[in-house]
């Protein structure tokens, strides 16, 4: 577990982070969200001591990071930098092997782990001998992730990991990121200024403004129970898309009629309403899914719409 206890940092006259407190549970993905300059990166870098706090305490699994050797601390924490941060004159293989070298892994172990990660991250095996500039932006981003994951750290810090990519590549890498088994058991703190990204990937979101935490909660809590106008306004222009993205067919189960159809496309109950609508848009007429006990329901776009409106009302008004 990561815990930041009343942590503050100023740069000369700029109070970048003011008395921030939060906890990230094991296996949780906390996303620091906010406009440029609100203190997200400074907060992240205080976790692995790339920046030292002026006040407050950061602990990881109960250990105060201030008492650890910073180099050894960082070897045990995966870190994906803004704009991938690859060494331009190192090959992809050498970039990924940075931490294994510090850990004195033998060549075979490093080679095996690198090959495994390249495959998991959908990178061509022969890119190992290429240099970063010979890869696309999306591929470089994946190498940055491979480098952070190579020693299988339990904590992963990510600073705008998809920041430099175009919207289409960004959306598809996000999907892969979400599906990556290797990331599911890690404790992740990730920085983004992209609201959609935060809502798609976060277990909880920490919304910041001017160095302070304004609200911290699940995507549902921020969307349906914003604590003030700032939170509400932050999401307002994208509200409907966000609602479609964070609601799943499973959430709507009780609102859907007990109908079944034999010629429906079968999907998983965890499919978001956004993705379900994309099926309807692509010409599918009926969709069928099962709950945890295997009971099936089939829906068309009209039953989906009515169920969604009824679910939305319940979230807003209780
Ligand atoms: N090394 C530094 N020296 C002086 N001021 C700094 C330094 N690092 C950050 N700041 C200031 O601290 C504030 C918070 O910066 P920080 O990088 O943490 O914000 P951010 O939310 O991550 O922004 P962005 O999304 O643009 O990266 C900003 O006003 C920034 O200008």
Task: Convert the pLDDT of each residue in 204-241 to its tens digit.
Answer: 999 999 999 999 999 999 999 999 999 999 998 899 99
- What pLDDT was estimated at residue 203? 94
How far is the C-alpha of 25 from the C-alpha of 9, rounded, in Å? 23
Decide: 14 in ligand 1 pocket, CB within 6 A. yes
Decide: 8 in ligand 1 pocket, CB within 6 A. no
Cα of 14 from ligand 1 centre, angstroms: 9
Rg, C-alpha atoms of the chain? 22
Cα of 16 from ligand 1 centre, angstroms: 6
Decide: 42 in ligand 1 pocket, CB within 6 A. yes
Decide: 39 in ligand 1 pocket, CB within 6 A. yes
CA 252 to the chain's CA centroid? 24
Under the banding of pLDDT at 50, 70 and 90, the label for residue 82 is confident
Cα of 51 from ligand 1 centre, angstroms: 11
Cα of 278 from ligand 1 centre, angstroms: 38
Under the banding of pLDDT at 50, 70 and 90, the label for residue 300 is very high
Which residues are 158's β-sheet partners? 80, 190
Mean pLDDT of the chain: 92
- What pLDDT was estimated at residue 183? 87
* CATH architecture entry for 247-316: Alpha-Beta Complex (3.90)
Reply yes or no on whether the pLDDT at 274 is more than 80.
Answer: yes
Query: If residue 297 lies in a helix (H) or strand (E), which one and from where to where?
Result: strand 296-299
Decide: 139 in ligand 1 pocket, CB within 6 A. no
Mutation test residue for ligand 1: of 9, 12, 13, 14, the one with most atoms within 8 Å of CB: 14
How far is the C-alpha of 267 from the C-alpha of 283, rounded, in Å? 15
| CA proximity to 194, closest of 214, 177, 176, 171 | 171
Q: Is there a common fold for 2-237 and 247-316?
A: no
Do 161 and 148 touch, CB atoms closer than 8 A? no
How far is the C-alpha of 285 from the C-alpha of 122, rounded, in Å? 33
Residues 6 or more apart from 294 whose CB is under 8 A from it?
Answer: none
Structure tokens at 261: 């159809």
Please tell me the residue having the least CA distance from ligand 1 atom 28.
37
Cα of 12 from ligand 1 centre, angstroms: 12
Cα of 66 from ligand 1 centre, angstroms: 22
Ligand 1 atom at shortest distance from the alpha carbon of 211 = 14
Residue for token pair 């810090």: 157
Structure tokens at 10: 């100023």
Domain ranges of the chain: 2-237, 247-316
Structure tokens at 73: 């601390």
Read off the pLDDT of each residue in 250-262 and give the average, rounded to a whole number: 89
Task: Convert the pLDDT of each residue in 143-200 to its tens digit.
Answer: 999 999 999 999 999 999 887 777 777 777 788 888 888 888 899 999 999 999 999 9
What beta strand segments (E) does 25-170 contain?
29-33, 55-60, 63-64, 77-80, 155-159
- What pLDDT was estimated at residue 144? 93
- What pLDDT was estimated at residue 61? 92
Own/partner pairs, 304-313, CB within 8 angstroms, 24+ separation: 304/252, 304/256, 304/273, 304/276, 304/277, 304/280, 306/255, 307/252, 307/255, 307/256, 308/244, 308/247, 308/252, 308/255, 308/273, 310/255, 311/247, 311/251, 311/252, 311/255, 312/243
Decide: 36 in ligand 1 pocket, CB within 6 A. yes
Ligand 1 atom at shortest distance from the alpha carbon of 193 = 25
Cα of 48 from ligand 1 centre, angstroms: 16
Decide: 24 in ligand 1 pocket, CB within 6 A. no
Reply yes or no on whether the pLDDT at 256 is more than 80.
Answer: yes
Predicted ipTM beyond 0.90:
yes
Decide: 46 in ligand 1 pocket, CB within 6 A. no
- What pLDDT was estimated at residue 171? 79
CA dihedral for 177, 183, 185, 187, sign (positive or negative) = negative
Cα of 38 from ligand 1 centre, angstroms: 7
Q: Topology of 2-237 in CATH?
A: Rossmann fold (3.40.50)
Decide: 40 in ligand 1 pocket, CB within 6 A. yes
């Amino acid at each position: 577990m990561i815990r930041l206890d009343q942590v503050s940092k100023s740069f000369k006259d700029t109070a970048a982070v003011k008395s921030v407190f939060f906890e990230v549970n094991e296996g949780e993905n906390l996303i620091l969200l906010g406009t440029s300059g609100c203190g997200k990166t400074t907060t992240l870098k205080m976790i692995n001591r790339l920046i030292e706090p002026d006040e407050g305490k950061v602990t990881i699994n109960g250990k105060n990071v201030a008492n650890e050797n910073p180099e050894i601390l960082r070897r045990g924490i995966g870190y994906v930098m803004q704009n991938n941060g690859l060494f331009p004159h190192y090959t992809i293989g050498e970039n990924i092997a940075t931490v294994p070298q510090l850990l004195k892994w033998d060549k075979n172990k490093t080679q095996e782990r690198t090959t495994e990660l390249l495959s998991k991250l959908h990178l061509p095996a022969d890119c190992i001998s290429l240099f970063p500039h010979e890869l696309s932006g999306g591929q470089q981003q994946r190498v940055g992730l491979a480098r952070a994951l190579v020693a299988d750290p339990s904590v992963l810090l990510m600073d705008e990991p998809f920041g430099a990519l175009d919207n289409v590549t960004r959306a598809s890498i996000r999907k892969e990121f979400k599906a990556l088994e290797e990331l599911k058991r890690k404790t992740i703190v990730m920085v983004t200024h992209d609201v959609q990204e935060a809502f798609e990937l976060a277990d909880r979101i920490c919304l910041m403004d001017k160095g302070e935490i304004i609200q911290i909660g699940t995507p549902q809590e921020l969307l349906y129970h914003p604590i003030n106008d700032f939170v509400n306004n932050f999401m307002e222009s994208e509200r409907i898309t966000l609602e479609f993205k964070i609601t799943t067919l499973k959430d709507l189960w009780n609102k859907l009629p007990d109908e079944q159809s034999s010629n429906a496309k079968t999907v998983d109950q965890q499919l978001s309403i956004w993705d379900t609508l994309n099926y309807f848009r692509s010409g599918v007429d009926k969709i069928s899914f099962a709950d945890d006990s295997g009971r099936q329901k089939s829906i068309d776009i009209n039953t989906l719409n009515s169920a969604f409106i009824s679910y939305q009302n319940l979230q807003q008004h209780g």
